[in-house]
């Protein structure tokens, strides 16, 4: 739970649906005000905001459109958060895209598109929030990586590289900000039921499921609860870690 004397604020990129929506809901239940960041689906973002306010009537939920790979957009994002809430205590870098192809066929544009959103975007957001959190001497940064960032995956060299990069980014930030009471951790989901995994073929789904010791698909809520813990004051002595939420897939 939040310190009752502080109205904490959480920024969640890619917060309009799927795992991002589940994260927003968990953080709202904890009593955090929210800046729900979305790339283009305003309707979904507003739905998420309404769900968060239904989950906790005491919090405020602000929706902000932002291209996280654009420096000016991100600066404006955090300016709006500070203007509305006066502080930013939690940053969850969840925004992500895929553009799958085999290495021999992948274009530079396909590679850059994924790196720009998934890794460059997280870097820019972290850089902007760092100044705020250092001044507050408090902060929680949680980057959403992936099991493929740890183990790789054929046909996803761009996505795997971006998610592996997030782990290196997280560990470096943890070392830099530890003395300022700012933690940085990563959550690496496995096979989670989202729109992204729903687009897979039935054969691919079955093959992936066979690799999971728990023999079941994870839910966005499974990931959200892990993020909520790392974003809480209960995790104050945990930093630079990668928490796998994968049903044992990465064992």
| Chain segment 141-176, per-residue pLDDT in tens | 999 999 999 999 999 999 999 999 999 999 999 999
User: Is residue 59 situated within a structural domain?
Assistant: yes
Q: Is residue 159 annotated as part of the catalytic site, yes or no?
A: yes
User: Is residue 50 situated within a structural domain?
Assistant: yes
Separation of alpha carbons 3 and 30, rounded Å: 10
Instruction: Count how many domains the chain has.
Output: 1
Separation of alpha carbons 16 and 212, rounded Å: 28
User: Is residue 131 situated within a structural domain?
Assistant: yes
Interacting residues of 240 by C-beta distance below 8 A, sequence separation 6+: 170, 171, 174, 175, 184, 185
Transcribe 77-145 into DSSP letters.
HHHHHHHHHS---EEEE-------B-TTT--HHHHHHHHIIIIIHHHHHHHHHHHHHHHHT-EEEEEE-
User: Tokens 């507050």 — which residue?
Assistant: 136
Dihedral-angle region of residue 170 (phi above 0 means left; psi in -120 to 50 means alpha; beta otherwise): alpha
pLDDT of residue 4: 52
Q: What is the CATH number of the domain that holds 82?
A: 3.40.50.720
User: Is residue 250 situated within a structural domain?
Assistant: no
| Chain segment 51-98, per-residue pLDDT in tens | 999 999 999 999 999 999 999 999 999 999 999 999 999 999 999 999
The number of residues in the chain equals 251
| Chain segment 208-231, per-residue pLDDT in tens | 888 999 999 999 999 999 999 999
Domain around 110:
9-243
Q: Decide: helix, strand or coil at residue 25.
A: helix
pTM over 0.85: yes
Mean per-residue pLDDT over the chain, rounded: 94
User: Is residue 249 situated within a structural domain?
Assistant: no
Catalytic one of 38, 138, 159, 237: 159
């Amino acid at each position: 739970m939040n310190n009752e004397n502080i109205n904490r604020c959480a920024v969640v990129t890619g917060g309009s649906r799927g795992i991002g929506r589940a994260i927003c809901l968990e953080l709202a239940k904890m009593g955090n005000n929210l800046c729900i960041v979305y790339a283009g689906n305003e309707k979904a973002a507003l739905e998420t905001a309404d769900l968060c306010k239904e989950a906790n009537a005491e919090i405020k939920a602000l929706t902000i459109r932002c291209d996280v790979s654009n420096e000016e957009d991100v600066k404006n994002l955090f300016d709006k958060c500070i203007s509305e809430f006066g502080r930013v205590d939690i940053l969850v870098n969840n925004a992500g895209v895929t553009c799958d192809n085999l290495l021999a066929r992948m274009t530079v544009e396909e590679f850059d598109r994924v790196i720009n959103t998934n890794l460059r975007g997280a870097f820019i957001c972290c850089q902007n929030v760092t100044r705020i959190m250092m001044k507050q001497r408090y902060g929680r940064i949680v980057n959403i990586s992936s099991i493929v960032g740890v183990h790789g995956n054929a046909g996803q060299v761009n996505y795997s590289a971006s998610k592996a990069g997030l782990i290196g980014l997280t560990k470096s930030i943890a070392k830099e900000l530890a003395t300022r009471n700012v933690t940085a951790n990563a959550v690496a989901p496995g096979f989670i039921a989202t729109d992204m995994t729903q687009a897979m073929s039935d054969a691919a789904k079955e093959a992936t499921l066979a690799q999971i010791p728990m023999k079941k698909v994870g839910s966005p809520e499974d990931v959200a609860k892990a993020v909520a813990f790392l974003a809480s004051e209960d995790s104050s002595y945990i930093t630079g870690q990668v928490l796998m939420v994968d049903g044992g897939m990465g064992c």
